Amino acid sequence: MTILFLDYDGVLHADDVYRNKSGIALKSGGTLFEHAAILAAAIAPHPNVKIVLSTSWVRELGFNRAKKYLPPSLQSRVAGATYHSSFELDDGLVPQTPWGLLNRYEQIARHVMKHKIMDWIAVDNDNEGWPEKLAHRLVHTDDDLGLGELAAQQRLSLVLASTINQAKD
């Protein structure tokens, strides 16, 4: 099994998301989750790819509610999230560091270590703190274009194929 750590903002739609009285919207006026079908198509040939949500939506809305924003084809692949309310407690992995102060790489690394995950990639617009030696695991997307950018789609295909082929060896 290969885990795909998935961010929403800056990946499945533009990064300029905000909450208002009506719900969740994009400041740019785009469509929420407009690139979800691109991700679904990219992972369709890989039935052993499972998704772990690595998005702030889980912390803000809760796991089930955040997951429900995805189309059914992606919802069925979700195996968990990097955030859980119990992670605010010191679990000995990153002592005395509140979850919200960890960068996205640290959140993913914590999850990988805790669950002993060997085969994984991340799709995210946030590359802060990402070690160069693990750059091959990151599909870094543009804040505004996300997976709508052809280069990001091509990188996703390459990273998926490479990770899955290495897992077979």
What are the pLDDT digits (tens) for 13-72? Answer: 999 888 888 888 888 878 999 999 999 999 999 999 999 999 999 988 999 999 999 999
| Structural domains in the chain plus CATH codes | 2-168 (3.40.50)
| Greater pLDDT, 167 or 48 | 48
pTM of this prediction? 0.91
Can you tell me the distance from the alpha carbon of 10 to that of 144, in angstroms, rounded to the nearest whole number? 6
Q: What is the mean pLDDT of residues 83-98?
A: 59
The pLDDT score that the predictor gives to residue 30 is 81
CA-to-CA distance for 123 and 14, rounded, in angstroms?
14
C-alpha of 138 from chain center: 10
**Identity (one letter) of the amino acid at 141?**
T
**Residue with the larger pLDDT of the pair 113 and 101:** 113
> Do the beta carbons of residue 119 and residue 163 sit within 8 Å?
yes
Mean pLDDT of 89-93: 54
Which of 2-11, 46-55, 82-91 is least confident? Answer: 82-91
Contacts 24+ apart (CB under 8 A), 101-110: 103/128, 103/129, 104/7, 104/54, 104/128, 104/129, 105/129, 105/130, 105/131, 105/134, 107/54, 107/82, 107/83, 108/5, 108/54, 108/82, 110/82
Q: What is the pLDDT of residues 108-150, one digit of tens each?
A: 998 999 899 999 999 999 999 999 999 999 999 999 999 999 9
